[in-house]
Amino acid sequence: MKRKKAPKKSARPVQNLELPTWQSKATLARLLSRIEARDLTLRKTLLPALAKASGNARTVGITGPPGVGKSTMIASLVGHLRKAGKTVAVLAVDPSSPFTGGALLGDRVRMQEYALDAGVFIRSSGTRGHTGGVALSTRECLMALDAAGFDVVLVESAGVGQTEWDIRKLVQTTVVLLGPESGDGIQLMKAGLMEIADVFVVNKADLPGSDRLLAELRAWVEGGAGGGHWIPPALPVQAQAGRGMEELWKALETHAKFLTESPTGRDRQRDARRLELLEILEERLAERLSILWKSAKARKVAADLTDRVIDPYAAADRLERLLPRT
Ligand SMILES: Nc1nc2c(ncn2[C@@H]2O[C@H](COP(=O)(O)OP(=O)(O)O)[C@@H](O)[C@H]2O)c(=O)[nH]1
Ligand SMILES: [Mg+2]
């Protein structure tokens, strides 16, 4: 039996829909602010358009303990990429900072040499206090930068708490940056930084102790090798002197190839897409629930619950049926 095609409701063309491009930094900056403010009007128009236009950027997350040299290394890597003619966007995520300045100010000073470079866009965002908002708004900012046409999008995130796991979900490749002062392998395992790395980088190779850490990382990596899985390389760099960036970029290219050409790599990309869908749905359901929760109907159900007219399970059943459409 043939099914009748339903009339397309969403096929209406969107008026004045202007996608940002990497050449228009001011427009892009305004868009990112609206995304971070969870501007719901973007959802029907701009976000789907951005999603369609995205998927071409190379996205790399860089995480590691504070002070290890993430910002310094990103500045060096940006320099390397610019020489190769690539446009680069940098998104610095610091959920512990309530401002988009504060803790990241030092980074900005270091990044100042790129202020006049049209091919580099730098954005800091502090997203504290938005439940679940870190992942979703960062994801959408990344998507916007991708859609704007940057060749490479780098995300800096402080390796504290859950942040590094949040970032790993959003990027193709995760770099864990460590230094001789980061402690030994056992401490790193405890910090949860070992499992998320696609590439290990030991910075401050000019300082004593970096060789030992590098050897430890390589031994650890080899212990878990096999089964068609990606084996994270461990590379030494001197971020401040700009040494090791070519080797780092090569390692990142190798990982990109693994993602597209190996079955495990493709599985990972498929899982990432499904997770994105789940997060979008979760945000929508949470919104519908919060609308219902503030309504008179919900107060009535809550009152019945208080009076013991119904039990909490029956109350939940009733509320579930009352969930508003969006
Ligand atoms: N000795 C040495 N110090 C470095 C190197 N790279 C960065 N640093 C220093 O490490 C400190 C922290 O760097 P920063 O990039 O702010 O670290 P972040 O907190 O991880 O972003 C700064 O004082 C840098 O100058 C390096 O290759 N060698
Ligand atoms: Mg930094």
The per-residue pLDDT for range 24-68, each reduced to its tens digit, is 999 999 999 999 888 888 988 899 999 999 999 999 999 988 889
Confidence band for 6, pLDDT divided at 50, 70 and 90: low
Give the residue whose CA is nearest to atom 19 of ligand 1.
Answer: 67
- Looking at residue 113, its pLDDT comes to 76
Give the residue whose CA is nearest to atom 10 of ligand 1.
Answer: 69
pLDDT, one tens digit per residue, over 302-326 is 999 999 999 999 999 999 999 998 7
236 pLDDT above the threshold of 50: yes
Q: Which atom of ligand 1 is nearest to the CA of 241?
A: 27
- Report the pLDDT averaged over residues 191-203: 88
What SS3 state is found at 35? Answer: helix
Confidence band for 3, pLDDT divided at 50, 70 and 90: low
What SS3 state is found at 265? Answer: helix
Q: In angstroms, what is the span from residue 111 Cα to ligand 1's centroid?
A: 13
Q: In angstroms, what is the span from residue 71 Cα to ligand 2's centroid?
A: 4
Confidence band for 11, pLDDT divided at 50, 70 and 90: very low
Rounded to the nearest integer, the mean pLDDT of the chain is: 86
- Looking at residue 99, its pLDDT comes to 42
Ligand nearest to the CA of 102: 2
Q: In angstroms, what is the span from residue 89 Cα to ligand 1's centroid?
A: 20
Q: DSSP assignment of 127-181, as one string?
A: -TT-TTHHHHHHHHHHHHHHHTT-SEEEEEEE-STTHHHHHHHHSSEEEEEE-GG
Q: In angstroms, what is the span from residue 23 Cα to ligand 2's centroid?
A: 25
74, amino acid identity = I
Q: In angstroms, what is the span from residue 67 Cα to ligand 2's centroid?
A: 7
Q: In angstroms, what is the span from residue 75 Cα to ligand 2's centroid?
A: 10
Buried b or exposed e, range 209-239, using 16+ CB within 10 angstroms: ebeebbebbeebbeeeeeeeebebbbbbbbb
Q: Which atom of ligand 1 is nearest to the CA of 65?
A: 20
- Report the pLDDT averaged over residues 281-295: 93
- Whether 124 and 106 have beta carbons less than 8 Å apart is answered as no
- Looking at residue 122, its pLDDT comes to 92
Q: Best mutation site among 207, 240, 248 for ligand 1, i.e. most ligand atoms within 8 A of its Cβ?
A: 240
pLDDT, one tens digit per residue, over 79-95 is 999 999 999 999 988 65
pLDDT, one tens digit per residue, over 161-188 is 666 777 888 999 999 999 998 877 667 7
Ligand nearest to the CA of 63: 1
Q: Which residue has the tokens 């960062």?
A: 138
Residue 153 to residue 143: CA distance in whole angstroms: 10
Confidence band for 17, pLDDT divided at 50, 70 and 90: low
Q: Which atom of ligand 1 is nearest to the CA of 72?
A: 15
Question: Which DSSP symbol is given to 238?
Answer: B
Confidence band for 148, pLDDT divided at 50, 70 and 90: very high
Q: In angstroms, what is the span from residue 76 Cα to ligand 2's centroid?
A: 13
Q: Which atom of ligand 1 is nearest to the CA of 66?
A: 19
Residue 316 to residue 113: CA distance in whole angstroms: 57
Give the residue whose CA is nearest to atom 13 of ligand 1.
Answer: 69
205 pLDDT above the threshold of 70: yes
- Looking at residue 302, its pLDDT comes to 96
Residue 189 to residue 114: CA distance in whole angstroms: 36
254 pLDDT above the threshold of 70: yes
Q: In angstroms, what is the span from residue 179 Cα to ligand 1's centroid?
A: 9
Confidence band for 133, pLDDT divided at 50, 70 and 90: low
Give the residue whose CA is nearest to atom 1 of ligand 1.
Answer: 204
240, amino acid identity = Q
Confidence band for 227, pLDDT divided at 50, 70 and 90: confident
pTM, full prediction: 0.87
Q: In angstroms, what is the span from residue 199 Cα to ligand 1's centroid?
A: 19
Q: DSSP assignment of 295-309, as one string?
A: SHHHHHHHHHHHTTS
Question: Which DSSP symbol is given to 99?
Answer: S
- Looking at residue 5, its pLDDT comes to 52
Which residues neighbour 150 within 8 Å (Cβ) at sequence distance 6 or greater? 22, 57, 87, 88, 89, 121
135 pLDDT above the threshold of 50: yes
103 pLDDT above the threshold of 50: no
Q: Is 119 exposed, middle or buried (0-12, 13-18, 19+ CB in 10 A)?
A: middle
- Looking at residue 150, its pLDDT comes to 98
Residue 291 to residue 297: CA distance in whole angstroms: 11
- Looking at residue 129, its pLDDT comes to 43
Q: Which atom of ligand 1 is nearest to the CA of 238?
A: 27
- Looking at residue 45, its pLDDT comes to 87
Please state whether 48 falls in left (phi above 0), alpha (psi between -120 and 50) or beta: alpha
- Looking at residue 240, its pLDDT comes to 93
Q: Which residues line ligand 1 (CB under 6 A)?
A: 64, 66-72, 106, 203-204, 206-207, 238-240
Q: Which atom of ligand 1 is nearest to the CA of 207?
A: 1
